[in-house]
Amino acid sequence: MKEVRGQVWIETVIYTLIAFVMIGLVLSFAKPKIEEFQDKAVIEQSINILKDIDTIITEIERYGVGNQRELDIGITKGELTINGITNLLVFEIESRYQYSEPGTDLAEGGLIINTEKKGDLNIVKLTKNYDSNYDLFYQQETNGKKIISQAASEYKLVISNEGINMNGKTKINFGVN
pLDDT given at position 3: 61
Mean pLDDT of the chain: 90
The full DSSP string for 109-174 is TTEEEEEEEETTEEEEEEEEE-TTTEEEEETTBTT-EEEEE--SS-EEEEEEEEEE-TTSPEEEEE
Handedness of CA 31, 32, 36, 37 (dihedral sign): negative
Indicate whether 1 pLDDT > 70. no
- What's the total number of domains in the chain? 1
Nearest one of 158, 170, 166 to 61, comparing CA atoms:
170
What is the per-residue pLDDT across 49-102, written as a single tens digit (0 to 9) for each?
A: 999 999 999 999 999 899 999 999 999 999 999 998 899 999 999 999 999 999
What is the per-residue pLDDT across 94-136, written as a single tens digit (0 to 9) for each?
A: 999 999 999 999 998 889 999 999 998 999 999 999 988 899 9
Domain range for 32 is: 2-176
Helix or strand or coil: residue 15? helix
Q: How confident is the model at residue 10 (pLDDT cuts 50, 70, 90)?
A: confident
Proportion of the chain above pLDDT 90, given as a percent: 66
Q: Are 162 and 173 in contact (CB under 8 A)?
A: yes
Triad 83, 151, 98: Cα angle to 5° = 70
Indicate whether 142 pLDDT > 90. no
